[in-house]
Amino acid sequence: MTPSTKVLAIFCLAGLLSSLTYTSYSAWVSSLPKADAESHQMGLDDLRSPNYDPAKAYERWYAENVHLTKYYDRKWPIFCFTFPVAMSLALLIAVGAGWLQRVSAPVMFCALIPVYVAPGLVLALCAVSWFILLIPSLALAGYLLRLSVEIYTSHRPRRFVLTLLITSVCCSALYLVIAAMLPLGRNTFASAMFIIAMEMIAAGLYGKALTPSSGFVARPATVSREG
């Protein structure tokens, strides 16, 4: 197995673990309201009790919903940081194993900054309108990943954003097909498959672009690696 293949494998694995972390947590959080509703369903006999207090029932319902809110709020930091952390670990492993060129710590730090910005940018734009801005947000994330590669290697990979954009469109089409085949309101599986596929592809392309023998035709960039 060549070093470039090892890099591709380690980055794809990192993308898989990152996406599984978020989708697993998201699925668990989505199951909490159902479990809470089932617990309330078991207590419907209390309505027939002369001691039933609507005010206390509401307070219990409100307290449980507030309790669940903190789990929902944790989804977004997990989404924003699992991918960058996974890419950072994959990069450290690849460099430590000698599969990627070594650079100074400041250069590596600067190269990772766009990677940490990308998921938050996707989340912010999709919060406005995921249906309209999903593909543009992924394209902007692709530019940030390309900038990261450019800082690290001092070369700008060509066709990187275009390749990521084409795969994004294909994954989006696949998502719509799977979602259309599922019952209404049961598209969690389709969303999970989309996220897993996109993170693995983005991670693989990112790792491949970092290798000296990358299939992306590159030209020298103007980014300085001094320091």
Contact 191, 6 (CB under 8 A): no
DSSP string, 91-128: HHHHHHTTSS----HHHHHHHHHHHHHHHHHHHHHHHH
Strand partners, 219: 156
Once rounded to an integer, what is the mean pLDDT over residues 115-120? Answer: 97
Once rounded to an integer, what is the mean pLDDT over residues 30-42? Answer: 62
pLDDT digits (tens, 9 = 90+) for 91-110: 999 999 999 999 999 999 99
- The pTM for the full model equals 0.84
pLDDT digits (tens, 9 = 90+) for 135-188: 999 999 999 999 999 999 998 888 999 999 999 999 999 998 888 888 766 778
What does the block give as tokens for 12? 């794809």
For the chain, the structural domain boundaries read 3-45+54-212
Cβ atoms within 10 Å of 205's Cβ, excluding its own: 28
pLDDT digits (tens, 9 = 90+) for 149-158: 999 999 888 8
